[in-house]
């Protein structure tokens, strides 16, 4: 019997402890109150559906624009009718629960995470780090495959934590930064789960957290893979001035980066400066979250979304957005921008570690760092590229992400 996820978060720690003491057969994870966790947001669903149903949208678009001006009305209308129509939350929730979930208390934060162990006892522990507007959900397509032994004998014990303030992890204090999250995650891996040495993969804010872990915990983080970095990417002019030659796909990615800085980072400025404005406006507004977050997810992904190998179709998009609404975390999620001003460092410093770092450029990602720049910040051993996929490869190119993460294995030294 499981408590509803929402209820569980609201319960004070003491009653939680009493409630679960009977089931505490698992390792106790030290004093971290490690508990199995089951998602049950179904009681929230009628509220979500009625809000979606009651939301009025314009009959026809004010101007005939494409996605370059933001969410398109016809796309939004289609998603909205699917949400109250054929979309089946219970079925999606069952999928989310098909992996094992846990919570632990670390430094006053309730950390929610997925943990799937490989049957191979010598599997490499790996932690997969998501960003905004993502969640643990974006990695689910790669979790089980990574636990299985590949044709070259590689397997992983996979951990996917929710950032503090996202999904089922509790919101952190006001002064919390990604370095604090990095410390908490290292505690999760080493002390709660007992993985003394592990690998990591990071994207978006998860790359900021992951890079901090790579830099600060050099005895435990023994390989890392990134698709994004917490450094200001160079402009096309800077790349040229440095005589760096690019492939055609890389030139495309540079243009995409410039486009993001010119026309697509308004959200970044709002969330960094006035997180309450957008956070409260959309807090209990599911169609609003869908318009805002959905448009970004689509713009930042491969335009072939939904066609193989991409799993980024309307169902997965609605699940991602439903999670933000049903867990009431849209507000706390946008605060990460305000809590980490100047996250993109202008100074390229080398991490204090000899652990290998791998980097992959997905053609449709929203920022691009040439190999020469990536090599400045870590012990770069491999720089790869995929011509399919964007900012959320766990959804829009899972086979490629599996390949990337597996490619860390030959560099990992336990």
Ligand X SMILES: *[C@@H]1O[C@H](CO)[C@@H](O)[C@H](O)[C@H]1NC(C)=O
Residues in contact with ligand X by the rule CB under 6 A: 108, 173, 175, 218, 242-243, 311, 313-316, 352-354
Which CB sits closer to ligand X, 187 or 260?
A: 187
Distance CA 321, CA 346 (A): 32
User: Is 14 buried (19+), middle (13-18) or exposed (0-12) by CB count in 10 A?
Assistant: exposed
> Which candidate, 302, 332, 16, places its Cα nearest to that of 163?
332
- Is 225 a residue of the active site? no
- Is 348 a residue of the active site? no
Which CB sits closer to ligand X, 120 or 220?
A: 220
- Considering the complex, what minimum distance in angstroms separates the CB of residue 173 from ligand X? 4
- Considering the complex, what minimum distance in angstroms separates the CB of residue 198 from ligand X? 15
Distance CA 117, CA 126 (A): 10
- Considering the complex, what minimum distance in angstroms separates the CB of residue 359 from ligand X? 19
> Which candidate, 226, 222, 225, 153, places its Cα nearest to that of 412?
222
DSSP run (H or E) holding 335: helix 330-339
**29 contacts 193 by C-beta, under 8 angstroms:** yes
Angle (CA) 210-407-146 rounded to 5° is 80
- Considering the complex, what minimum distance in angstroms separates the CB of residue 266 from ligand X? 29
Measure CA 75 to chain center: 24
Which CB sits closer to ligand X, 50 or 219?
A: 219
- Token readout for 72 is 């398109």
Catalytic hit among 391, 396, 404, 411: 391
Return phi, psi of residue 104, to 5°: -140, 155
- Considering the complex, what minimum distance in angstroms separates the CB of residue 352 from ligand X? 4
Q: Please list the residues that pair with 114 across neighbouring strands.
A: 101, 160
Catalytic hit among 185, 195, 292, 337: 337
Which CB sits closer to ligand X, 120 or 314?
A: 314
- Is 204 a residue of the active site? yes
Catalytic hit among 115, 185, 204, 359: 204
Which CB sits closer to ligand X, 143 or 278?
A: 143
> Which residues are identified as catalytic?
204, 337, 391
């Amino acid at each position: 019997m499981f408590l509803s996820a929402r209820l569980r978060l609201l319960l004070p720690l003491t009653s939680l402890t009493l409630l679960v003491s009977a089931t505490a057969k698992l390792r106790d994870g030290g004093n971290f109150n490690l508990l199995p966790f089951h998602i049950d947001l179904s009681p929230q669903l009628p509220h979500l559906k009625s809000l979606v149903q009651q939301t009025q949208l314009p009959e026809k678009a004010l101007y005939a624009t494409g996605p370059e001006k933001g969410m398109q009305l016809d796309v939004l209308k289609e998603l909205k009718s699917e949400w109250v129509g054929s979309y089946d939350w219970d079925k999606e929730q069952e999928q989310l629960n098909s992996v094992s979930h846990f919570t632990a208390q670390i430094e006053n934060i309730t950390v929610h995470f997925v943990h799937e162990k490989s049957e191979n006892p010598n599997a490499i522990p790996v932690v997969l780090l998501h960003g905004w507007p993502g969640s643990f959900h974006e990695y689910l397509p790669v979790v089980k495959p990574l636990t299985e032994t590949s044709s070259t004998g590689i397997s992983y014990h996979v951990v996917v934590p929710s950032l503090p303030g996202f999904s089922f992890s509790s919101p952190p204090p006001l002064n919390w930064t990604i370095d604090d999250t990095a410390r908490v995650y290292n505690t999760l891996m080493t002390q709660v789960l007992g993985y003394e040495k592990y690998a990591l993969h990071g994207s978006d804010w998860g790359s900021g957290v992951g890079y901090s872990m790579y830099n600060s915990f050099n005895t435990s983080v023994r390989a890392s893979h990134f698709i994004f970095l917490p450094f200001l990417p160079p402009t096309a002019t800077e790349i040229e001035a440095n005589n760096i030659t690019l492939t055609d796909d890389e030139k495309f990615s540079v243009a995409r980066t410039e486009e993001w800085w010119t026309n697509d980072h308004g959200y970044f400025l709002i969330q960094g400066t006035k997180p309450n404005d957008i956070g409260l406006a959309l807090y209990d507004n599911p169609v609003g979250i869908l318009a805002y977050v959905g448009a970004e997810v689509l713009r930042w992904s491969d335009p072939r979304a939904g066609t193989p190998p991409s799993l980024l179709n309307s169902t997965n998009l609605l699940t991602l957005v439903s999670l933000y609404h049903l867990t009431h975390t849209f507000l706390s999620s946008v605060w990460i921008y305000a809590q980490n001003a100047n996250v993109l460092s202008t100074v390229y410093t080398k991490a204090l570690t000899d652990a290998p770092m791998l980097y992959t450029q997905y053609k449709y990602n929203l920022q691009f760092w040439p190999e020469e720049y990536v090599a400045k910040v870590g012990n770069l051993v491999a720089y790869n590229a995929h011509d399919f996929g964007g900012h959320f490869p766990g959804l829009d190119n899972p086979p490629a992400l599996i390949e990337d993460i597996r490619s860390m294995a030959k560099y990992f030294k336990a």
